A and B are shown apart, each in its own frame.
Chain A
Amino acid sequence: MAEDIVLDVRDLRMRYGRNDVLNGLSFAARRGEVLALLGPNGAGKTTTIEILEGFRMRSAGQVSVLGADPALAGEAWRARIGVVLQSWRDHARWRVRELLEHVGAYYAPYPVPGLPRPWDTDELIAVVGLAEHAGRKVRRLSGGQRRRLDVAIGIVGRPEVLFLDEPTAGFDPEARREFHDLVHRLADRDEATILLTTHDLDEAEKLADRILVLVGGRIIADGSADELSRRMSTEAEVRWSRDGQRFVHSAQEPTRFVRDLFRQYGESVEDLEVRRASLEDTYMALVRQAESGQERGADAAAARRLSVVTG
């Protein structure tokens, strides 16, 4: 349904001087969908997210976030957007609770039926796991705690769209898992649409309904983690043992290979394992393919031919 589309980006381009940073991105996201922008450094992830946040002008293309152009949208639109940027060292002298309460108050004039704004300060502090540090000065927080506060500030207005730029940088594994739970909660319970950038594959796989792989300012793949690895992996690894001897075989069509294997050896086939390429293998292959395409000086058409864009 068209009214369910919250993010709509068409042929987005960004150029600095003679340098093309974004070469015609197109993607969309529905309400409650979690999208991960995955890609190596310099791929254009941050530029893309900043254009969607309304913090940066684009060179060309159409962008719609909650039905408005971020470059022109006003304060009422701003109240529906949550932003967590990469590095923040602001408000060092403020106390955690004081700051969250203050920032939250700006959202009070923008209520939505069924969505009380802002988030209750104490509840939010508990949700991001900062209850013990509520009275602490921001500069006394550790890196991970500071990042949780950034996330809390990003969601204090109960955003309908949330942008997260490398949200879990500096998190320990436990904090990371708690953060993942929080993202799922926001997307499932509050139906927030979430766009996050990461270069952590594992994170993209765990969090995102859909992964966009961005390389050299182009989306070279768009799909769920499963779809991506299925689409890319032409080969699977088949392992088995027979009469105490172990075998490994790479098969283009593993199903047929295994069928033949059983036909030939029947019950003597044991310890069968069929392994598809992991998302990491897929991702590395995609990036390598795209980058080598660019190095060869391939023009836009050739790069598109090499890529596996289907969406």
Chain B
Amino acid sequence: MNASLAATRLGCRRGWIEFKQTLTNADSLVPTVIMTAAFLGVMLLTRTTTVPGTHFSLGTTMLTSVLGMSIGVNGLTSMGGLLAAEREDGTLLRAKAIPQGMTGYLVGKIVTVSLTTLIGVAGTLILGLVLFSGLAVGSATAWLTLVWVLALGLVATLPIGAILGSLFPSARSSGLMTLAVGGIVAISGVFYPITHLPHWLQWAGQVFPFYWLGLGMRSALLPTSLVAVEIGHSWRHLATFGVLAGWAVIGLAVAPWLLRRMARRESGSSVAARHEKAMLRVR
């Protein structure tokens, strides 16, 4: 017990170290900056366009939706991608060779991905406040909603990301995950109100956490009048909580089992075999 507590503390330290590395590393920083810049560009272009049926800026609405979406996308693809990549390069096997190393590794990953998500959200929000008008950040409830949606969003998507990461056989194939997530985001009402999609797509979009994360952030940061363009003219906080909690329960129930199975299968020769395969592809 003492040792696993120590490992959790070490995991936090590990997460902090890797978070700092992410911030000072061009490979991981450049794509994030480019993505953020692209989103901001689109939002700025649509700043003067209005949300259909209102006089409110589509760009500002989009900003809040992207904020919500980015929590989910980060939680899922970063966690999944990192796990797949680090299984390939032997980081996981290393963790397995150290006492309580797996605990430390997973705690570390959760901390790193959470911190990078947080700083992404904070950065986008600050830029949004400077560049866009109309965000309703004056009330305590706004911040309260933002915090619980953010926290629940991470708890809902990190374990699912870990599950996907442990299922994909290689870092390369985890690219498929990013692609699939992109497809789901497209029907999640992030860039345009979901009510303008065909009915069946609306239903499909509402299965996944991205729609709800966007809705949650809109409910936190947009004026109350904007509720008129949402499904059922409601922010549906209870449903948001329900769906995100549902994903969290599924993830937390399945992830430990899958991670253990994945860890059990790691060995020096499996790492070497994957490396060889990857090298063959490069050549």
Give residues in A with beta carbon < 8 Å to B: 46-47, 50, 53, 55-56, 75-76, 78-79, 81, 83, 85-94, 98, 102-103, 105-110, 153-154, 157, 165
Name, among A56, A98, A108, the residue most crowded by chain B CB atoms within 10 Å (CB to CB).
Answer: A56
CA distance A55 to B94 in the complex (A): 11
Inter-chain contact B99/A90, CB cutoff 8 Å: no
B230 sits at the interface (CB 8 A):
no
Chain B residues positioned under 8 Å from A103 (CB to CB)? 94, 98
Inter-chain contact A86/B268, CB cutoff 8 Å: yes
B87 to chain A, nearest CB (A): 10
Inter-chain contact A94/B17, CB cutoff 8 Å: yes
Inter-chain contact B94/A75, CB cutoff 8 Å: no
CA distance A232 to B21 in the complex (A): 56
B115 to chain A, nearest CB (A): 15
Q: Which of B2, B14, B89 touches A89 (beta carbons < 8 Å)?
A: B89
CA distance A102 to B91 in the complex (A): 14
Q: Which residue of B lies closest to A79 (CB)?
A: B99
The secondary-structure label for the interface of chain A is loop
Inter-chain contact A109/B17, CB cutoff 8 Å: no
Inter-chain contact B94/A108, CB cutoff 8 Å: no
Knowing A83-B97, A87-B271 are in contact, say whether A102-B6 is a contact too (CB < 8 A).
no
A194 to chain B, nearest CB (A): 16
B25 sits at the interface (CB 8 A):
yes
Q: Which residue of B lies closest to A102 (CB)?
A: B14
A48 to chain B, nearest CB (A): 11
B30 to chain A, nearest CB (A): 15
Chain B residues positioned under 8 Å from A94 (CB to CB)? 17, 21
Inter-chain contact B98/A87, CB cutoff 8 Å: no
Total A-B residue pairs with C-beta atoms closer than 8 Å?
Answer: 89
Inter-chain contact B268/A85, CB cutoff 8 Å: yes
Inter-chain contact A105/B268, CB cutoff 8 Å: no
B236 sits at the interface (CB 8 A):
no
Q: Which residue of A lies closest to B96 (CB)?
A: A55
List which B55-114 residues lie within 8 A (CB) of chain A. Answer: 86, 89-91, 93-94, 96-101, 104
Inter-chain contact B97/A102, CB cutoff 8 Å: no
Q: Which of A50, A88, A106 touches B7 (beta carbons < 8 Å)?
A: A106
CA distance A130 to B93 in the complex (A): 23
Q: Which of B2, B13, B17, B89 touches A92 (beta carbons < 8 Å)?
A: B89
Chain B residues positioned under 8 Å from A89 (CB to CB)? 89-90, 275
B202 to chain A, nearest CB (A): 42
A258 to chain B, nearest CB (A): 49
B272 sits at the interface (CB 8 A):
yes
Q: Which of B6, B90, B91 touches A109 (beta carbons < 8 Å)?
A: B6
Inter-chain contact B94/A88, CB cutoff 8 Å: yes
Chain A residues positioned under 8 Å from B6 (CB to CB)? 105-106, 108-109
Knowing A75-B100, A85-B271, A110-B99 are in contact, say whether A90-B3 is a contact too (CB < 8 A).
no
Chain B residues positioned under 8 Å from A56 (CB to CB)? 267
12 contacts between A and B (CB under 8 A): A55-B266, A56-B267, A75-B99, A83-B97, A86-B268, A88-B271, A93-B18, A93-B25, A102-B17, A106-B7, A106-B10, A106-B101
